Structure 1
């Protein structure tokens, strides 16, 4: 690793309150370190009915402590995996902070999954407990028939079913206080499932220090400042929502806004105006829909930047947003395995070229490889690979260690399976996947997973899922 890359990681380490070499608890770094400032706002949750709930870092720290105490009282011990079937709601963050504080591992699950997909992930992760919103309790119940072990169930909202724990009641119970677990930087914090090229999803094991892999991008790409209000729209069941635009801005002590309802362009515009949002983070598909509504009513002048990732950003969307707001959309590229590695940096705002990315993020080193593994110098097209930095978002695949090893080249370089073109100016243009993963509206969908579901129907003998271009969903 070169001098510039080393300097960036030294800078990142200098911004932390903990020394990763001596121990690192993610709950402290992204929450408790700010709790002494009683008025520092961490999270605003807006409901589709116009309601607003506001939580300081002190509030989340206190609730996270209570969640950790409840998990300990239930007999969950160091390293146990606690899954969550929760949406964009504060309980997702209380559960995550509680697991991290207690030395447990958080396993977020997307609420759009059906029972078999939920069961598959719970079995793969070896989950011992699940925190589930009442809206998806029936999905979990159907999944339990396929589980290899029973799980402790914590229900959020409505009356718990027989045998369930009421999560909110547990947070108010008089459980014995437990100290923050003295975890190491490489202890697991999250198992985040991504789509695989077969029907088996891969579980990325994110260590406690994995969030550090995102801070160079966050600092140079998002470039948020004290006092900024971030509207983070991505579901915390995915790494962009939980880590990139969740834990990373919390490490910086910033305020985030979440919308608990389904996508509603006018509701988003109301929130931007009423909360004086300065930065939006989302996927290009959402920006296209938001722009259509904003043309009718405008966008609040508080907006100074927007961040996108998950799928290619087209020039028409970027140009339309800039005309409406006067602010750029800075696009970024990353993977749950690695972090956020290539992006439009804030320093390049005047010269952004939508459809390409302006630079490799400071701290990262990239190469293009031909199909035969030769390095491409200068302009060209090939698979983009990255030298593994001191801190990588994921450490391995929790359920596919051999597959993880196959992604490594000469030990120091990690294959992305993504094809990129580098032009004469050094900008990177994303071409597509080198495997058969389908990217739709920012979601990475394994065709094998779709095919596996289709073939469960008695009328389907064989099935194949392929991608087709869509003007709205990519």
Structure 2
């Protein structure tokens, strides 16, 4: 049954089907919760034996849930299913191969695989032996792979025949050994299944590294320690609202932090059946997957929901009645999308806010609480949110300022890889973590996003640093200078637009513009390729340093969009 909305109800959405929500009383929980409560719900970690892979998989088999379905996979051509016992056996076998080949605690093992069961299994196998797993997004090209692996001196790599062609092995001197996934499987089958390969580590030992783009400089390595798992567990229980019979689908690839923390760790820490879809976005395939696997909890990005909304009534061809809880992350969620989903599916979309650096949800909309469309929600229990002024002092409710969180908390990054100064730059002298977002908080504690205080581009839920794209653009022989911005877009949130000047001897033609765009797509990544390229005679710069003024470029673009809307009568 779909929910009916009147104009009077469009400013707030009441909870839907809350009788079984894991967290019922937000106010009571905020006052009584401690992070030790979350830690004590794990198996070995409370006694000082930390291993995220054990807590995700092995403990469920040990506690009698080995036959429960852990994973369902489809790529449109084939389907696979695995129980927790089977996942334990596979990850144990892969872990034994790693140990045999010298992988030890703290080593960096990178995984460059498509969204597939083995991508998930190898991440867990690396962590099982105490190594640091470094998942790479399957669309990364050579430079993106090289930058990340060389920065943290990666020692091991697991890939496949297709993606392995994008790895510049000779330019990664730290690399000791690479496995094609088929070779890893064969080696695993040849080893005896002897003692458990689990390596117990300290809570501060690293387990996961993700690279995140900034507005200047190369991507930075955000390292998370095993101490993050109580944060991942409890947000999986209360925000994802994972329950015993849930089938859970996160659409993100583990190469992005959402795809690892909320695609691998949080759902499996809560013993969910996890779904993997190996194909690209396709509305019909997505709806078919929900119907086929009876997905009950679904986590995706605003861009995906906007694209589904643009497909109109396609959802009517499928039975989506299994859906009880939907969540969103990656960029601000349009109120219109929330209303559409509520009216058509009878289920609200719950926006969530966190960052690669924070390791888990910080500001959330819970299933048992009202939603104010346009708000990212309220502080998760154990989290203190502040809106700060220029002096880093808290502002009164209703005033816009820097969105900050009182540090520390368990999921907070351990370090920026070999960059202590950058790590320290996130924190104020009075103990706040500065997010880089601006926002305000209303009298009920709901936080509303205002904007970014840097130039970071969020396109289709992906974070792209303009400097990385600009650097690639000027490698093209025709490009002299480049400035890159995020241009507002109704579907993707933002698209990447590049402004370039040409070197002497080159003239603007449609073929040259397309050649430049394809150059970035093939050399860096498809999601980083500019959707639009505009050629200028010169770029706006600061008078003293000559730094390109992205802000001026963006202001011009926004002004142009307003004029176009005005001319069309919108």
Query: What's the TM-score, normalizing by structure 2?
Result: 0.78
Q: Report Cα offsets for 1:24-80 as digits up to 9, x if no partner.
A: 11111111001242211111111122x210111111111111111111111222211
Q: Is the 8 A contact 2:115 2:138 kept in 1?
A: no
User: Is 1:33 equivalent to 2:52 in the alignment?
Assistant: no
User: Is 1:296 equivalent to 2:314 in the alignment?
Assistant: yes
Question: 1:347 Cα shift?
Answer: 1.6
Q: Report Cα offsets for 1:73-125 as digits up to 9, x if no partner.
A: 11222211100111211111111111111111101111221111111111112
Q: Residue 35 of structure 1: SS of its match in structure 2?
A: helix
**Pick aligned residue for 1:359 from 355, 375, 378:** 378
1:251 equivalent in structure 2 = 269
User: Is 1:168 equivalent to 2:185 in the alignment?
Assistant: yes
Count of matched residue pairs: 460
Cα RMSD (Å): 1.9
1:156 equivalent in structure 2 = 181
Q: Is the 8 A contact 2:252 2:258 kept in 1?
A: yes
2:368 equivalent in structure 1 = 347
User: Is 1:267 equivalent to 2:285 in the alignment?
Assistant: yes
Q: Report Cα offsets for 1:222-246 as digits up to 9, x if no partner.
A: 2121101111111111111101232
Pairs within 5 Å for 1:145-224 = 145-156=170-181, 166-174=183-191, 177=194, 179-224=197-242
Flag the 1:203–1:359 CA change in 2: closer, same or farther, 3 A: same
Flag the 1:35–1:21 CA change in 2: closer, same or farther, 3 A: closer
The 1-side partners of 2:29 and 2:49 are apart by: 26
Q: Mark the runs of 5 or more structure 1 residues left unpaired by the alignment.
A: 158-165
User: Is 1:332 equivalent to 2:360 in the alignment?
Assistant: no
1:80 equivalent in structure 2 = 107
- Between 1:355-364 and 1:390-399, the stretch displaced more is 390-399
- Between 1:388-397 and 1:331-340, the stretch displaced more is 388-397
The 2-side partners of 1:183 and 1:335 are apart by: 25
The 1-side partners of 2:242 and 2:331 are apart by: 22
Flag the 1:214–1:182 CA change in 2: closer, same or farther, 3 A: closer
1:46 equivalent in structure 2 = 74
**Pick aligned residue for 1:133 from 160, 173, 177:** 160
Q: Mark the runs of 5 or more structure 2 residues left unpaired by the alignment.
A: 1-27, 494-570
User: Is 1:117 equivalent to 2:144 in the alignment?
Assistant: yes
The 2-side partners of 1:128 and 1:23 are apart by: 25
User: Is 1:239 equivalent to 2:257 in the alignment?
Assistant: yes
Q: Report Cα offsets for 1:176-204 as digits up to 9, x if no partner.
A: 74631121111000111111222311111
Q: Is the 8 A contact 2:120 2:264 kept in 1?
A: no
Q: Residue 368 of structure 2: SS of its match in structure 1?
A: helix
Q: Is the 8 A contact 1:131 1:153 kept in 2?
A: yes
Question: 1:460 Cα shift?
Answer: 1.2
User: Is 1:473 equivalent to 2:492 in the alignment?
Assistant: yes
Query: What's the TM-score, normalizing by structure 1?
Result: 0.93
Question: 1:148 Cα shift?
Answer: 2.9
Flag the 1:67–1:469 CA change in 2: closer, same or farther, 3 A: same
1:318 equivalent in structure 2 = 338
1:11 equivalent in structure 2 = 37
